[in-house]
Structure 1
């Protein structure tokens, strides 16, 4: 059995849960939007499944539910945002108008967000920029969960990155991936549902390979995708999202002092490029030609296509929520 809600109804419901547990209403709308978007598009590991984690983090005192982001113009092509120990989405929303203006003027601009908590999928951060005509790249660091290549204990975060570019006559191409073999949310789902992990995903507390998601979560570590290649990308994200922004490194995480906290106080780096100002000509049709080449090579589905298909169904038919999940949301709403 399932409950069917419109996207707007789902967003309102999530926002009310977050407000109920101490998040300012304007910030709650920002966060609820990305939670509902993930559920709408079938990204269940970053949708309602994470709502109890948001609530637990708010209740723990690890995050400031009334945080007001502070936007600073630090250079002609750089916007800095201090999220003030709040969620990343309100900070992104606060800095985006200036970031867009700079990218339109300069051709390229970056936003450096620090002192923020990002607990959501990353693709919602970049897709709107591509809809506005930009090529966008974002990356976020997080608390230590991944053992670098050759190590036996966790040190780096899952450190996701997302990319988006516009397409003529079609929604943007968007991808979002962790630097680990799978996202941490997938490990949490496997633990909840009693499923084994594939080979090569994680280590136990003794540094031995394991397929048990609970062993990975209980003192173990996840592994980077592609071995040393993914490890290098996770390191790059740590530099861009933490060192460059002034955010905390993953190993500096202090959430353990706040029982129940599930988020990381870390950083995010967002880079926008305006194709019209980058020196190329006829960029839109060239990108379309690139996609045609993918199809000619036998690629039947581009990144994001399945998400867009699920989105269309959700908009037309409503978002189907398992009854057990809906009951959990109602319990959270009741306090």
Structure 2
């Protein structure tokens, strides 16, 4: 491949031409591994080569995929391509979402240009694999925004002549080895360094989706993991992202506990999410929450983007002051993800206190439709209610005001399964079950409000939570967001504040419990119970079964130094 100067600008002329310039396009949905593969592949060529990544040439904010953006991206790509060819590049690797009907349409003339030789590689992966990679990626890009484009994987096959590569079971090095082997077969000897891959390039013929029955079966693949191993891997992954060891261990223990309690929506899937939040500057693993006294019995907790396990501990301490006096009111702003609220309820109720809690997402996370609406206007806005009932366990209600927590949908996405009818509604208001629809751009689904046919009740609860946490506590609300994270308003008071002893309350709760059990029931497996008093197995399960792709990602994060390139926390730590 000898030297040649080829201009690709609108008015460029061929200066000399001894060989065609090869343009190698790596395309696919977000999370397919295009950027990393491009960086590695360009270094394999033994001729002048250059890399263009579409993320770098269209890094605008706010980012919205429309004709204006495609036009800007097209102009920038042309300028880069022209400059690299003038420099003398014989190969240009172009990584990005280059698909018909989108950016690729900006290059119709260049695709037919006899001076350029185009070859396309489509990097494919199943939805749960894409989601796991995105949630663990340290790119400073909003994970939800990238998740919304997972459906583009199905469009890869529409590129004429594309060579499709299933990346789900491959490392980044293996992906590049396979592409390099295919490139070496096309190019003159010595033009590229290629290692010998462990088999032929597993391409899928153009026109097929590459997600057949085998892929569907793989989507439901799980990996048995002991609770101890899960805690260790999660703590290592969080530690690699900058969490101090004690904080990483506490957070890991809470996530594993959620899994063993049958709540994967608040379990291991949060590890990649927390890592991504650190990379985006939305979570400061070394921060500590601070208390500001606003009245004799009122405080405001500034979370400072600290990990939720630390914020919850401080909330419990401040709310516990109600045991020695009158009611305590605690406001919360700018906290990292609090995780499950029920443990906080049990801890506070264990001190003989009644707790009322209202938590929002500081105006972000709007994925819940209002009553009569079809797009996301509220976050899941959970309620926390707890009451002592000695000598039995306290009553604890930790409940989203949507039909399900958003994590339930995300867990289904990672597992490659549908969600039950009634949790999501489409843009026409009809029920949908595909979890990917919640993450498209624009979203093609929203979480339904709590209540089913009485959706106005869940909607009203969400509105009040948003008002109490967002407006009264000042955490930010849906009409005036203050960034991701959790805000809240909490009130604690002694259970005997109105003259009835804790023992009397406990006796009344026991009578209520017997009242429920005395009634008819559908079957013995679904006996009515009071909140917080689920029948638990005598032993905590020691074996977890996370989706295989998620577990592989956590192990990868646990062995990678993720603090390089992450800006220091911009707040006092």
Deviation at 1:45, TM superposition (A): 1.4
- Which residues of 2 match residues 91-110 of structure 1 at below 5 A? 91-101=311-321, 103-110=322-329
Deviation at 1:89, TM superposition (A): 2.9
Q: In structure 1, what is the Cα distance between the partners aligned to 2:464 and 2:519?
A: 31
Does structure 1 residue 232 correspond to structure 2 residue 426? no
Deviation at 1:83, TM superposition (A): 0.6
Q: In structure 2, what is the Cα distance between the partners aligned to 1:45 and 1:268?
A: 20
Q: Secondary structure at the match of 2:487?
A: strand
- Which residues of 2 match residues 50-199 of structure 1 at below 5 A? 50-101=270-321, 103-118=322-337, 120-142=339-361, 143-199=365-421
Contact 2:305 2:335 in 1 (8 A): yes
Higher relative contact order (CA 8 A, sep 6+): 1
- Which residues of 2 match residues 34-49 of structure 1 at below 5 A? 34-49=254-269
Q: Between Structure 1 and Structure 2, how many residues are aligned?
A: 320
TM-score by length of 2: 0.52
Q: Closer, same or farther in 2 for the Cα pair 1:238/1:116, shift >3 Å?
A: same
Does structure 1 residue 203 correspond to structure 2 residue 425? yes
Choose 90-99 or 68-77, whichever is displaced more: 90-99
Q: Closer, same or farther in 2 for the Cα pair 1:70/1:326, shift >3 Å?
A: same
Q: Closer, same or farther in 2 for the Cα pair 1:251/1:46, shift >3 Å?
A: farther
Q: Secondary structure at the match of 1:167?
A: coil
Q: In angstroms, what is the RMSD of aligned CA positions?
A: 2.5
Q: In structure 1, what is the Cα distance between the partners aligned to 2:308 and 2:338?
A: 8
Deviation at 1:319, TM superposition (A): 4.3
Q: Secondary structure at the match of 1:277?
A: coil
Q: In structure 2, what is the Cα distance between the partners aligned to 1:119 and 1:68?
A: 14
Q: Closer, same or farther in 2 for the Cα pair 1:323/1:186, shift >3 Å?
A: closer
Deviation at 1:151, TM superposition (A): 1.8
Q: Secondary structure at the match of 1:288?
A: helix
Q: Closer, same or farther in 2 for the Cα pair 1:81/1:40, shift >3 Å?
A: same
Contact 1:83 1:113 in 2 (8 A): yes
Q: In structure 1, what is the Cα distance between the partners aligned to 2:429 and 2:450?
A: 17
The runs of 4+ residues in structure 1 deviating greater than 4 Å are 9-13, 205-209, 251-255
TM-score by length of 1: 0.85
Q: Secondary structure at the match of 1:85?
A: coil
Does structure 1 residue 320 correspond to structure 2 residue 544? yes
Does structure 1 residue 289 correspond to structure 2 residue 511? yes
Structure with the bigger percentage of helix = 1
Deviation at 1:186, TM superposition (A): 1.3
Q: Could you tell me which of 499, 510, 533 is aligned with 1:279?
A: 499
Structure with the bigger percentage of strand = 1
Deviation at 1:245, TM superposition (A): 1.5
Q: In structure 2, what is the Cα distance between the partners aligned to 1:201 and 1:321?
A: 24
**Quick check: which has more Rg, 1 or 2?**
2
Q: Secondary structure at the match of 2:304?
A: strand
Contact 1:34 1:124 in 2 (8 A): no
Q: Secondary structure at the match of 2:395?
A: strand
